[in-house]
Amino acid sequence: VTAALALGTAQLAQAYGVANHRVSGAAHDPRAILDAARERGIRWVDTAPAYGDAERVLGRYLAEPGRAGAFRVCSKLSPLPAELPARELRAYVGRAIDQTRGRVGCDRIDAYLVHAASDLATHGAALVDALAAARERGAVGRIGVSVYEPSEAFATLAIGTLDAIQYPFHLFDRRMAESGVVAKLRTGGWLCFARSALLQGLFALAPDALPATLEAGRPWLTRLAALAGEHGTTPVALALGFAVHHSGADFVVVGADDAAQVHAACDATGRPMPGAAAEASERAFTDVPGDVRDPRRWRATGGAS
């Protein structure tokens, strides 16, 4: 399967870039990014209350004349408070969904994911029931979870009722596809989003431009630059082509800081990926250490900004 692109929205928010493990900065013109996405036929946006003001920025854009329905929207349920009693879960989730609908200005959120997979482990059937109730009343379309680990995806698969998932997939981390869980999700008809195709912008950095705290990534970025050169392409185009052709997802979520990056992403993925480049990419990055491939661990190593 070849995935289509979806637009990530963390870059739309003012708050973007302040998280200390980010390697890229904030967008100055969210409207230009969204216009470019529409122009290029991108039909899904991926957002979350966790991405600063992104839901509201998106909502303001969609409220302008002629924009209603321009994008299908995937958003997320922020991590639940630790002590939330089971009997309050349904009302709590319902309110969170209604707040997202209000901010985005949509009657229905097309896909709604639990942002912290651990919430699904903690609350189990009660949380699934709460999501299903929201789907029942038409407030959300697909329901599911955003995961980091194949084990979380396998656990999610075992739960009936859910039908959407988001997972990381990029040159340095292909575990989701290689574990076989993506094939199972597809067979089950799940709506699949792959994220971090550019590893939060890391693949766009020159090896020499790496922040000191990500020094461990230097040999891998050097290898990526060499590989892209051998195949007559750029690291960004190689990474995006790889995600689109090998993630097994319906949509690859990609973030952009400006309209030019939206166009670059669409240009890079609009053509087939030569088999030799894909095979070489698979061979080159089999054992990238977790400190480099998992952005959650960048912070632990001291932050990248």
Ligand X SMILES: NC(=O)c1ccc[n+]([C@@H]2O[C@H](COP(=O)([O-])OP(=O)(O)OC[C@H]3O[C@@H](n4cnc5c(N)ncnc54)[C@H](OP(=O)(O)O)[C@@H]3O)[C@@H](O)[C@H]2O)c1
Taking CB under 6 A as the criterion, the residue among 146, 156, 213, 247 binding ligand X is 146
3-class DSSP assignment, residue 216 = helix
Asked if residue 148 lies in contact with residue 117, where contact means CB atoms within 8 angstroms, the answer is yes
Distances from the Cα of 172 to the Cαs of 12, 113, 238, in angstroms?
26, 24, 12
What lies within 8 Å, CB to CB, of 271 at 6+ separation is 241
Among 48, 130, 164, 304, binds ligand X (CB under 6 A): 48
Shortest Å, Cβ 49 to ligand X: 10
Tokens matching residue 263: 């166009």
Token pair 């854009």: residue: 61
H or E segment to which residue 286 belongs:
none
CB closest to ligand X, residue no: 255
Q: Report helix, strand or coil for 82.
A: coil
Site string for ligand X, 156-195 (x = CB under 6 A): ---------------------------------------x
Near ligand X in 71-130, by CB under 6 A: none
Please identify which residue in 104, 242, 255, 298 interacts with ligand X, judged by CB under 6 A. Answer: 255
Contacts by 174-177, CB closer than 8 A, 24 or more apart: 174/246, 174/282, 175/149, 175/150, 176/150, 176/247, 176/248, 177/246, 177/247, 177/248
Which stretch, 46-54, 63-71, 96-104, 173-181, contacts ligand X (CB under 6 A)? 46-54
Taking CB under 6 A as the binding criterion, the range among 101-109, 120-128, 175-183, 257-265 that sits at the site for ligand X is 257-265
Q: Contact region for ligand X (CB under 6 A) — 10-18, 63-71, 92-100, 183-191?
A: 10-18
Rounded least distance, CB 106 to ligand X, Å: 19
Considering only 36, 37, 197, 277, the residue that binds ligand X (CB under 6 A) is: 197
Provide the terminal-to-terminal Cα distance of the chain, rounded to the nearest Å. 36
**Structure tokens of 3?**
């995935």
| Nearest residue (CB) to ligand X, 185 versus 268 | 268
Total number of residues binding ligand X (CB under 6 A)? 28
- Identify the residue among 6, 12, 24, 167 touching ligand X (CB under 6 A): 24
Helix (H, G, I), strand (E, B) or coil at 211: coil
- 262 Cβ partners below 8 Å, 6+ apart? 7, 33, 36, 37, 40, 42, 256
Binding characters for ligand X, 198-227, by CB under 6 A (x = yes): xxxx--x-----------------------
> Per CB under 6 A, does 141 bind ligand X?
no
Which residues of this chain interact with ligand X, rule CB under 6 A?
Answer: 8, 10-11, 16, 19, 22, 24, 48, 50-51, 146, 195-201, 204, 236, 253-257, 261, 264-265
